[in-house]
Chains A and B, each alone.
Chain A
């Protein structure tokens, strides 16, 4: 809760910075603020009343709108760490654009929305969180005002996002109509007391909420916006979308379906399984023939969304896979930040075409090595965090009726390795288009060192993350 206050306060400060002329110190202020908010997750970790700390003990007696339990805190922690990394990555973005204080405010408010999505316990706060997160992102996607692709991205994102928000609202209304409450605990209580005797429009409401959130996490067949928006947006904004936004949307999806609707897992489970299967197949197969690394990463993020959805799916009979989802989102976010940092440095001008990576091992071996670790992690190759992320998700799914998804996941992961390795081959075996060395500034070097070591470290000792809720 304290972290949420800090970030909100930072957002307001950012808006005032222009007027009160302290925008020079805004950037360090934001970095410190995010770290402070992160520190607060540790302060709040052990609440005084222990029996309230677990998700499954949410009861109807709770009418809070927001609850920062350990799960919420853990996901907030992932979001805040990723956001901190992202601000280091995006330092140039804030120097080059006009109205930088507005951009700061937009990103910080998006972050507020993200934190709300990790901690809501009421459908009103869910909707608020989604909108607070989404609206700044529409603007940020279009933030390169003179670039037509950026404008197109923002516009598409807005239209499709509003469409999805409509479904979310419609779904909330239907669920409220059936249950008479916005509270997740209340909904869960209602379902377990009704013994299957619920109106059909309740199910329709649940399904619509599922669809809306599948849109937000860009799962097939609601993923069409993602490649266009990711490619059109400025690279750093794409990085923000595929890490912070995605993690937040996942935390929301997990909270809603594993807390509110877990008694009717059969209803949404099969649909989710089909969505996962479709996402895996479409994203990986389409990614295979992409020539733009940025677009390839967009498809790769769809595939990773499917993996995290598997965790939610496996969760329906308990809460054992929360830590696997947490681990996955962390591994994925860190890997993505690293690969976007390399992408940003390698192709400042040609929008991530794979040729820009040709011969990178000669032009800047450091970047190439960091990219190798990041891509191996995204592809799920052992020792890196990505391998254990997939492994933990698989082990939770193995005890459910959806084992067939594992087969799909393994085959599509193999296809996935193909397009990740395409970049590796370009970096190490193709002749460089120019011999000029690629320059990387100090802050990015430090960021890459940290993310690379982090990816290896949590791959070598995954127990610290996996055992976090014990």
Chain B
């Protein structure tokens, strides 16, 4: 079964080619069906591969060679896929959620004229994402990494007639390029150190290198992860990326692509285990990002922006866990987060769809009657992300926090604060959107409707997963089996949780009670007292204003980086390029032209001159030969 792994990325590639070449000539139904079936086929193969792995617990990984790719002097890079527990899990997330989002998109994008183009990009994205997690060496991962970056760019700027959207796309691309450079340097350093970039070769001998090399590699790779997974200081592209269609936000900017950084760190965990310093950086950056983004989320009014900051924040929590050595817990959280965040985005999409494109939660309210399915599913998703006891997010988040507490109580504290803030802003979103009176225009109110089946079906599936998804990682002290932890054991050995059961129960209780208290507080503010977010910035208190404006980070970057760069580039363009480079190039051209018009006069057409010049040449040569 594992031999068929090549089919998994092949199906989306075929879907991409069909839609790319013939999409415009096909009906929308056919175009969407082809794209969705391609992903479904991949999902089925992924499932078969997954069960194959489960049935043979003794073989932990399979390397499937596709073809010989790069062969030069000392560099030999085969095109190989690695099927192991980690990649098979990611395959399921990507193809499973990918399939649901394809189905959803058929309904969501129905009116759009770029329908087939959308599915072309979406299939291409899935192809690259699968390449990223399947590759057996860093170069294939890098190809996938760049490929998903490209698709992300194309999809953020999908409505390319809007300049602001195009700018958002460019911003995402450039921010990612900064991270990619770090990643690329990391790969080069791995090659220089170990003479190979295949996982098997490198990880086997990784411990032969000294700690400072491991730190350098780990940090360079982490820079790549910062870009792709939107961590401080490279996170600013992700909120802007919400310019893309909502299914894109759900698939790329919540469930899959942004977790590529997590995947990469888990895959390379050996370097982080070797280097406590690098792990500490990861943990600190993670918790800082988590807290920072969560506070911004408190005062946002755009339903997708809130979810975007929430994603940044949740990714921060995952990195915090990675830094603390909780690799399988973070992968667990990647999975539950994929369920509930995809659900929340798709739900938000359904709301926006019903509101005729409106995204501001100040113009919503009382939607639960008009959109019962969307409301119920989103509510379950909110309970999950808020870490309410029993829901999937509770278990994964709790696992990360428990490991973090052991690693450093200070980081645990900020992590816990983040998760409380999460509960607050998510319920703020829910209360403002679904309860109270409708605050939009009369026309919008008249138009309100529940979304079609193709959109609500994925919502229901994801809602079920968000509720029960935690069952794969029940805490061990319950006497239950932490299935996912054991499953990932061969790929990433996670230090055993040494906390006593009592301590763990205390931590868990603090989190549960805290969440309930915060939700009640949100209820009091936004439901009981009907507090509405302020319309005008001038009415805000200074701190609120600061947070509302996202701490002015974009403006600071603009001032510190973009302005000086623009200035330098202006000078270089004006003086170095236009005067010097162009001058030299044009000068050479003019000189050749001038010379040419002189030299061509030699070609007189007069045959006696030709013979004369031949004779002169012959005499000169003979003279030279014999005088020498």
- Complex contact A224–B621 (CB within 8 A): no
A167–B592 Cα gap in the complex (Å)?
34
Q: Given known contacts A159-B611, A286-B599, what 4 new A-B pairs fall within 8 Å (CB)?
A: A221-B617, A224-B613, A228-B605, A289-B596
Question: Which residues of the other chain, B, contact A228 by a CB distance below 8 angstroms?
Answer: 603, 605
The residue among B589, B599, B602, B609 with the most chain A CB atoms within 10 A of its own CB is: B599
- Complex contact A289–B597 (CB within 8 A): yes
Stretch of A18-26, A64-72, A199-207, A451-459 at the chain-chain interface:
A199-207
> With A203-B626, A285-B592 in contact, is A163–B617 under 8 Å at CB?
no
B-side residues, CB < 8 A to A, are: 589, 592-593, 595-597, 599-600, 602-603, 605, 607, 609-611, 613-614, 616-618, 621-622, 624-626
Question: Which residues of the other chain, B, contact A200 by a CB distance below 8 angstroms?
Answer: 626
Q: For chain A, give the interface size range.
A: 20 to 34
Residue of B nearest to A270 (CB): B624
Residue of B nearest to A156 (CB): B607
B300 CB, nearest partner CB in chain A, Å: 50
User: A415 an interface residue at 8 Å Cβ cutoff?
Assistant: yes
| 6 A-B pairs closest in CB distance | A289-B596, A224-B610, A221-B617, A288-B596, A286-B600, A285-B596
Question: Which residues of the other chain, B, contact A406 by a CB distance below 8 angstroms?
Answer: none
A163–B622 Cα gap in the complex (Å)?
17
Question: Which residues of the other chain, A, contact B599 by a CB distance below 8 angstroms?
Answer: 282, 285-286
Chain A, 201-229, contact with B by CB distance < 8 Å: what is the 0/1 string?
Answer: 00110011001000100000110110110
Question: Which residues of the other chain, A, contact B602 by a CB distance below 8 angstroms?
Answer: 224, 286
B68 CB, nearest partner CB in chain A, Å: 15
- Complex contact B621–A211 (CB within 8 A): yes
Interface members, chain A 277-327 (any B CB < 8 Å): 282, 285-290
- Chain A interface, >50% SS class: helix
Checking A271, A282, A285, A415 against B621 with a beta-carbon cut-off of 8 angstroms, the contacting residue is: A271
A251–B295 Cα gap in the complex (Å)?
79
Residue of A nearest to B611 (CB): A163
A83 CB, nearest partner CB in chain B, Å: 29
Question: Which residues of the other chain, A, contact B603 by a CB distance below 8 angstroms?
Answer: 224, 227-228, 286
- Complex contact A289–B624 (CB within 8 A): no
B297 CB, nearest partner CB in chain A, Å: 50
Question: Which residues of the other chain, A, contact B625 by a CB distance below 8 angstroms?
Answer: 203-204, 207, 267, 271
B342 CB, nearest partner CB in chain A, Å: 42
B628 CB, nearest partner CB in chain A, Å: 9
> With A211-B617, A418-B592 in contact, is A160–B626 under 8 Å at CB?
no
Checking B593, B610, B616, B621 against A289 with a beta-carbon cut-off of 8 angstroms, the contacting residue is: B593
Question: Which residues of the other chain, A, contact B610 by a CB distance below 8 angstroms?
Answer: 156, 160, 224-225
B622 CB, nearest partner CB in chain A, Å: 6
A282 CB, nearest partner CB in chain B, Å: 6
- Complex contact B596–A160 (CB within 8 A): no
Can you name 7 A-B residue pairings with CB atoms under 8 Å? A163-B614, A204-B622, A208-B618, A271-B621, A286-B603, A288-B592, A288-B596
A288–B593 Cα gap in the complex (Å)?
7
A118 CB, nearest partner CB in chain B, Å: 26
A160–B607 Cα gap in the complex (Å)?
8
Question: Which residues of the other chain, A, contact B614 by a CB distance below 8 angstroms?
Answer: 160, 163, 215, 221-222, 224
Question: Which residues of the other chain, B, contact A163 by a CB distance below 8 angstroms?
Answer: 611, 614
A203–B628 Cα gap in the complex (Å)?
13
Question: Which residues of the other chain, B, contact A211 by a CB distance below 8 angstroms?
Answer: 617-618, 621
Question: Which residues of the other chain, A, contact B595 by a CB distance below 8 angstroms?
Answer: 285
Question: Which residues of the other chain, A, contact B609 by a CB distance below 8 angstroms?
Answer: 224
A285–B590 Cα gap in the complex (Å)?
12
Residue of B nearest to A163 (CB): B611
The residue among A167, A227, A228 with the most chain B CB atoms within 10 A of its own CB is: A228
Question: Which residues of the other chain, B, contact A156 by a CB distance below 8 angstroms?
Answer: 607, 610
A8–B618 Cα gap in the complex (Å)?
35
- Complex contact B589–A271 (CB within 8 A): no
A207–B619 Cα gap in the complex (Å)?
11
- Complex contact A289–B617 (CB within 8 A): no
Residue of B nearest to A155 (CB): B607
B159 CB, nearest partner CB in chain A, Å: 32
The residue among B609, B611, B617 with the most chain A CB atoms within 10 A of its own CB is: B617
B619 CB, nearest partner CB in chain A, Å: 11
A415–B129 Cα gap in the complex (Å)?
45
Question: Which residues of the other chain, A, contact B626 by a CB distance below 8 angstroms?
Answer: 200, 203-204
A221–B602 Cα gap in the complex (Å)?
11
Question: Which residues of the other chain, A, contact B589 by a CB distance below 8 angstroms?
Answer: 418
The residue among A207, A225, A288 with the most chain B CB atoms within 10 A of its own CB is: A288
A203–B593 Cα gap in the complex (Å)?
40
Question: Which residues of the other chain, B, contact A282 by a CB distance below 8 angstroms?
Answer: 599
B536 CB, nearest partner CB in chain A, Å: 55
- Complex contact A207–B621 (CB within 8 A): yes
- Complex contact A160–B622 (CB within 8 A): no
- Complex contact A159–B600 (CB within 8 A): no
